[in-house]
Every structure is written in C-alpha cells, then in structure tokens.
Amino acid sequence: NYIQQEQNKRELKVLVKKDNKNKYFKPHSKEIIIDNKKLYVITFDEITDEYIKILDLTTEASTDQLTKLFNRRRLDNVLTKEMELSCFTKAPLSIIFIDIDHFKLVNDTFGHGAGDKVLIDLAKIITSTTRKSDFIARWGGEEFMIALQSTDVNEASSLAEKLRVTVQEYAF
C-alpha cells in the first residue's frame, strides 16, 4: 500500500478541486487483518486552512514586502540551484547586478516615500523587461539581482543595456 509506506517518510497531501475551489486532504492508512486478509483503511483529514496558511507564510518569508520581488534569502537558495543546474546541463548562467547610484540622495531630498516609489517602479521595469523564467530578487536596499538561465554573456549584456536605457528614460 503506497500510502502506508509513504506516510511516515514524507508529508502526503491530496488535492481535490470542486466548484473551482481547492481542498487539501492528508491521507492516513492503517493496516488491519480480518479473516487472515490484509486490508487497509484510509482516512482523509481536511487540511485546507492549515495548508493555505503554510503557503502564505512561505510566500511571505521569501518575498520582499515593498517590491513584491523575491528577497535575498530566497535568492541565495535559488542561486545555488541555478548554478548546480548550469553545471549539470552545461548551459550558461548569467547574473545581472543592479545598484541605484546616489539612492541615499533620493531619500534625503524627497523622503523615504519617494525612495520607496522608485524601488517599486524599478522592480516593475525589471519584471516587464525580463523573461518569466528569469529569477529576479531584491538583493539589498537599492540593489537587485537577476539570474538568467541559459543566457550567455552577450545576451546578458544586451539585456543589462536595455534595462539601463529604460531606467534612464523613465520619469521617476
């Protein structure tokens, strides 16, 4: 019995879709013997609310609250996996590091609200200019990183220049 074997090794979940709503259940299997026949009783506990809370907390823990991009913690995890994948597939991996020059001056002159708006707008520019498969994260205060799987240095340089020009021309 698969459930019997797997329930102690890992967290099992069953997704049931009904009326466009997802419901999550945790299966439990118990072996019983009746008349020398092995039978399994399977029960399902609904864990929808708990599972959604876990997903929400996981998202919150890996997302920069201001820009809604991934945060540095998530970047560190993903970057390690991206580098391993690049080595395994022999495909190039490029990284673009973005730092806003003189950002402190923006905050000091116009206030932190204006600085926050600049960061939000920059995050939107980066997101709209890159591919969906690219991994974008806020590295630090005014620093961002983009991981570009299967992208050589020429393609990455071209994208970086396109981002630079777009940012230069944007009316913050």
pLDDT tens, residue by residue, 141-162 = 999 999 999 999 999 999 999 9
Q: Among the listed ranges 3-7, 8-12, 62-66, 71-75, which one has the minimum average pLDDT value?
A: 3-7
Structural tokens at position 89: 């597939």
pLDDT at 1 over 80: no
Distance CA 70, CA 58 (A): 11
For the chain, the average pLDDT equals 94
Buried b (16+ CB within 10 A) or exposed e, 74-104: bbeebbeebeeebeeeeeebbebebebeebe
Helix (H, G, I), strand (E, B) or coil at 107: helix
Give pLDDT, residue 8: 79
pLDDT tens, residue by residue, 88-99 = 999 999 999 999
Amino acid present at 7 = Q
Among residues 60, 142, 161, 169, the one annotated as catalytic is 142
3's CB contacts (< 8 A; 6+ apart) are 12, 27, 28, 29, 40, 42
Residue 142 annotated as catalytic: yes
pLDDT tens, residue by residue, 120-149 = 999 999 999 999 999 999 999 999 999 999
